[in-house]
Structure 1
């Protein structure tokens, strides 16, 4: 074991919080989950300017180097020692104890095992290679910082990415470099997040810690819709296909915890959002098109107190991220054509049903115009105007999932980065409000507390939220990792004491 690792273990054994570097951090979903579990968020790297600013504000706003934390950095152009110097972390191999991150999951070239060995031997030299993919960049940072533990998060499809199980390749590369590794698939709804979001998590510990990888038991229970179960089955097909692995059929996959119907039911959309202010400005002509900056509006009060031990209470009173003045980002998109459609849709309806509602509205408006003596023959100016003002132009056979009205008694479906462009995938279940979800409601569905600030205007904020990992899903994983680090540090310290008399 290197002197740097011994020093890290000594810190933890003395009760100090493990220091985290969050790579591809976004606004900080992983960071927030680890912070809530007792870790110290010491550094991050993020290429998006708005997300980098959000992370800096929420985790380092009082730090003397706050401006450096807010800088957007491209990992392909930022060497580990440069990041450590910019943030005042000290020598790279001593700087952090844990690395977390979710490399963006665009199409990657095949990850070769020989290349991974090259990364381990010369991480900073490798980072100059512009042909590298982002998974390789992640491994290069691991090789440079030499953490005691790490976590990687990604979509389930990473287990079958262009004919390759990238999670398994990563596991084998980490095992080659001295880590004990395991990965699994987890759904956020089983951990108290009001959203059915399936993700792959890979965890690794330095072998010297003597810890095996385990994942936390579920805290909640939900019957997942067929689509989620089938997606998981597709990802798991790789486990029976040796050709998707780097070295044959042996793999590091760990079965997820067993669902327990005796657990509390999953947090529903209504439980998550019921106490937030009603929005009807758009229905009363008081919402205008244009950019909305959250800091320019007065905070809105809640609809009433939140009972202790409820999801709403946690979102209002998350330690370190409390909402003391109400909320400023309860903002929605300007979609006047679609408000009447939202009002008539039923919970669970998707775009085909929305299109049917729109056609009925169009027919009603044609009749009203005809009563007024207007020319409403097909193709007339009035007919064309009413069609444009009433019916969305998308083909309902090609975009069946483009719209969805949430069900109040179920967790929401997966929030996507596409929220940055539109919010039709999450139409509010309350027909009286007839709208898509607000920025703050999206944050609630991702389990971001109300005091967490998203920098930028509405579209960048939605994108940051859609890209994030739910903090409440991360927290129990981080708690399990913290227990393993503490146990590993204690085991190492005890082993050292046993060896001291022999050496004397």
Structure 2
């Protein structure tokens, strides 16, 4: 049962919104700020954030300082397990208590223990323990988040994670979170949203929980798709596994909305990237790429056809506009594989890449006149190593993938910080993996958004982020509901006065 004190705090916050105050957001595990950008664009005030990764925290400060000193306590990295809401408020000198400082609390909690790909890695690191992912301390951070909710008494809550959090060793974690939030006086709901349905050039399915304090008189709503896409084979099966433990009778799960075929088509890779600089220096003059810094800028490409509506948005996002050039044009130098990249078909993955490499190797053997009798020679082994990637196609079928220019990208992951072969540029003449800025475009970060650190750190931050356009779609619905609640409260008071 909600206490009278908690009810009073929430009423004060609603009164503040009714008086015209902007809803103040605290984001936990903010990363570089993908969800924050969506919140800010929807009209939320970014009052504070918590992020443990120093480079991501620095990126956040560079993009959202809004007049604050980028080196101030507001910008420093923090561990959500080591800093309380009260300590955070004190360090930021907000001059209000933790309970009175924030109207919205959001979180993109770490997903490594929940995602199936992360579970495999944890199992490997632990020496084969099948339940290693369940012992990972990151799997229980949602309980720490619930403590923040208790301490800050927000009017609204947003949580984002991977779909597999719905089936965490047979346990539906969002259902548990919603049960606890309802006991604390919130109306709750959760669903899966695909970024491609909301104008992001990437097929990225994510779980969203929204909770609204009952004092608002609103129940959670989720955005309707704006773009049409027929999902590739395999997604339905993945959904079934994730949804296996969803209890439809609880009323908390919102059925996944299917986009209407009459909507405009999902954004493809060509529309997302075609106006960005053409990068060939990795082949023609690798020294240029080695000297190039993440902050170095190159001009946009010009075209008689102009550029796409999506590119226009990425170049003109309010507060992040970039008119003539942009940064982030770093790519990996992997000369062994340039010719393979060029020859791969659009949408092809590692098995085809390996076949092409084997063909190229046989051609090289003939040119060098090395026959089967040379298999044990150093010349044979060295030549093979120069041409053929060492990975087993049966074990790594999805390790490589070449973008299809007409379709959205596959999901970007934090692993791009170590390996970008999962996203090979569709332009075979450029024969390379995507650049940092191209990855940012595929995640819907505007071109004026900057990333701190070196190339690997930037890729990691991008892969970890909530796509800003997806965050914006969720944030807009939430802002509408907060505005409606404030308006309804004002009308109630007017009627009482009359």
Residue 490 of structure 1 corresponds to 487
Residue 37 of structure 2 corresponds to 32
Tell me whether 1:388 sits opposite 2:395 in the alignment. no
- 283-292 vs 357-366, which moves further: 283-292
Distance 1:423 1:106, change over 3 A: closer
8 Å Cα contact 2:113-2:139 kept in structure 1: no
Cα distance in 1 for partners of 2:191, 2:110 equals: 18
Cα distance in 1 for partners of 2:334, 2:286 equals: 13
Residue 369 of structure 1 corresponds to 368
Q: CA deviation at 1:374?
A: 10
8 Å Cα contact 1:168-1:251 kept in structure 2: no
Q: CA deviation at 1:438?
A: 0.4
Distance 1:37 1:451, change over 3 A: same
8 Å Cα contact 1:159-1:238 kept in structure 2: yes
Cα distance in 1 for partners of 2:251, 2:418 equals: 38
8 Å Cα contact 1:427-1:437 kept in structure 2: yes
Distance 1:382 1:199, change over 3 A: same
Q: Deviations over 1:152-202 (max 9, x none)?
A: 000000110111000110011100000000000010000000000000001
Which of residues 233, 236, 242 in structure 2 aligns to 1:229? 236
Residue 123 of structure 2 corresponds to none
- 305-314 vs 78-87, which moves further: 305-314
Residues paired across the two proteins, number: 469
8 Å Cα contact 1:366-1:376 kept in structure 2: no
| Displacement over 6 Å in runs of 4+ | 373-376
Distance 1:23 1:106, change over 3 A: same
Q: Deviations over 1:395-448 (max 9, x none)?
A: 111000000111111000101111010101000010000000000000000000
RMSD: 2.2
Residue 50 of structure 2 corresponds to 45
8 Å Cα contact 1:337-1:390 kept in structure 2: yes
Q: CA deviation at 1:285?
A: 3.2
Where 1:184 maps in the other structure, the secondary structure is strand
Q: CA deviation at 1:62?
A: 2.2
8 Å Cα contact 1:288-1:334 kept in structure 2: no
Cα distance in 1 for partners of 2:308, 2:286 equals: 36
- 306-315 vs 403-412, which moves further: 306-315
Q: CA deviation at 1:39?
A: 1.0
Q: CA deviation at 1:381?
A: 1.9
Q: CA deviation at 1:82?
A: 1.1
1:469-484, aligned counterparts within 5 Å? 469-484=466-481
Which of residues 4, 16, 20 in structure 2 aligns to 1:15? 20
Residue 57 of structure 1 corresponds to 62
Residue segments in structure 2 that go unaligned for 5+ positions in a row: 1-5, 115-136
Residue 92 of structure 2 corresponds to 87
Residue 245 of structure 1 corresponds to none
Residue 148 of structure 1 corresponds to 155
Which of residues 376, 399, 422 in structure 1 aligns to 2:419? 422
Tell me whether 1:96 sits opposite 2:102 in the alignment. yes
Residue 271 of structure 1 corresponds to 271
Tell me whether 1:105 sits opposite 2:103 in the alignment. no
- 305-314 vs 195-204, which moves further: 305-314
Instruction: Give the alignment's TM-score, normalised by structure 2.
Output: 0.90
8 Å Cα contact 2:47-2:102 kept in structure 1: yes
Residue 302 of structure 1 corresponds to 300
Distance 1:400 1:132, change over 3 A: closer
Cα distance in 1 for partners of 2:288, 2:234 equals: 37
8 Å Cα contact 2:365-2:371 kept in structure 1: no
1:270-349, aligned counterparts within 5 Å? 270-287=270-287, 293-295=293-295, 297=296, 299-304=297-302, 310-324=309-323, 326-349=325-348
Where 2:286 maps in the other structure, the secondary structure is coil
Residue 254 of structure 1 corresponds to 254
Q: CA deviation at 1:316?
A: 0.5
